[in-house]
């Protein structure tokens, strides 16, 4: 990524443009379009909306958002449950090299570790709760549906089972069929939000996700 492109992207992370300018080169790796810089920016905007209502340390939160996917692990990798821990370790190294103090590094690392659904770690700080909510908001709603279909294509899955799209007479299998992932995981996310603001945003996006599936089923 060129210096000019980084600077252009960093401007979107207001009021933490300078921090973003430093951390964007470390923020992503690989070619996963569901965990790219656009995803990072969407999560940042979600986090700032929640932060405005819930409070917390904005600098720690912004750094955690920027680095929460700094290690890329594919959905079908046996290391998937370790992805957030690996990202937290890399984030801690990056911030230490930038001269951050140990307390703030630990706060960022905990938020990064706890954000992941697959890691199943309870977020213990406000910043960690906000990051988890902000990241999960990007997994539901219209964008969440788009990411679901994108990942299904990346993993070689089909869109749906033509004989039984809603799995009324078969076990759900989201490795084989994209829309099965709605019931396997996505529809369950809204019940696990950590902050009041996050829950309010999640309710709206959950309903949008329901509408996506209803419209999809109607069309097929």
Please state the domain extents for the chain: 1-122, 139-220
Task: Give the model's confidence band at 80: pLDDT under 50 very low, under 70 low, under 90 confident, else very high.
Answer: low
Strand partners, 177: 158
**Residue range 50-72, pLDDT digits in tens:** 999 999 999 999 999 999 999 88
Residue 76 has pLDDT above 90, yes or no: no
Evaluate if residue 118 carries a pLDDT over 90.
Answer: no
pLDDT over threshold 80, residue 2 = no
| Residue 141 confidence (pLDDT) above 70 | yes
Q: What confidence tier does 1 reach under pLDDT thresholds 50, 70, 90?
A: low
Percentage of residues of the chain with pLDDT beyond 70: 95
Q: How confident is the model at residue 37 (pLDDT cuts 50, 70, 90)?
A: very high
CA dihedral 24, 200, 88, 67 (to 10 degrees): 0
Q: What is the pLDDT of residues 13-24, one digit of tens each?
A: 999 999 999 999
Strand pairing partners for 158? 177
Q: How far is CA 196 from CA 42, 111, 135, 189, 216, in A?
A: 19, 18, 15, 14, 31
Mean pLDDT, the chain, integer: 93
185 vs 165: CA distance, rounded Å:
16
Percent of the chain whose pLDDT exceeds 90: 81
| CATH code that applies to domain 139-220 | 1.20.58.1910
């Amino acid at each position: 990524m060129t210096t000019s492109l980084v600077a252009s992207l960093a401007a979107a992370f207001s009021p933490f443009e300078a921090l973003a300018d430093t951390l964007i080169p470390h923020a992503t790796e690989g070619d996963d379009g569901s965990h790219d810089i656009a995803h990072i920016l969407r999560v940042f905007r979600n986090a700032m909306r929640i932060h405005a209502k819930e409070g917390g340390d904005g600098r720690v939160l912004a750094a955690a958002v920027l680095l929460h996917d700094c290690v890329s692990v594919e959905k079908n990798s046996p290391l998937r449950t370790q992805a957030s821990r690996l990202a937290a370790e890399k984030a801690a190294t990056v911030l230490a090299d930038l001269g951050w103090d140990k307390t703030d590094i630990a706060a960022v690392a905990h938020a990064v570790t706890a954000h992941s659904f697959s890691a199943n770690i309870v977020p213990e700080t406000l910043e960690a709760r906000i990051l988890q909510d902000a990241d999960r908001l990007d997994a539901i709603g219209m964008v969440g549906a788009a990411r679901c279909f994108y990942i299904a294509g990346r993993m070689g899955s089909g869109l749906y089972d033509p004989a039984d799209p809603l799995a009324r007479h078969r076990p759900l299998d989201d490795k084989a069929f994209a829309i099965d992932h709605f019931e396997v995981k996505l529809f369950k996310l809204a019940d696990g939000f950590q902050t009041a603001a996050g829950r309010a945003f999640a309710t709206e996006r959950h309903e949008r996700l329901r509408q996506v599936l209803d419209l999809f089923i109607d069309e097929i």
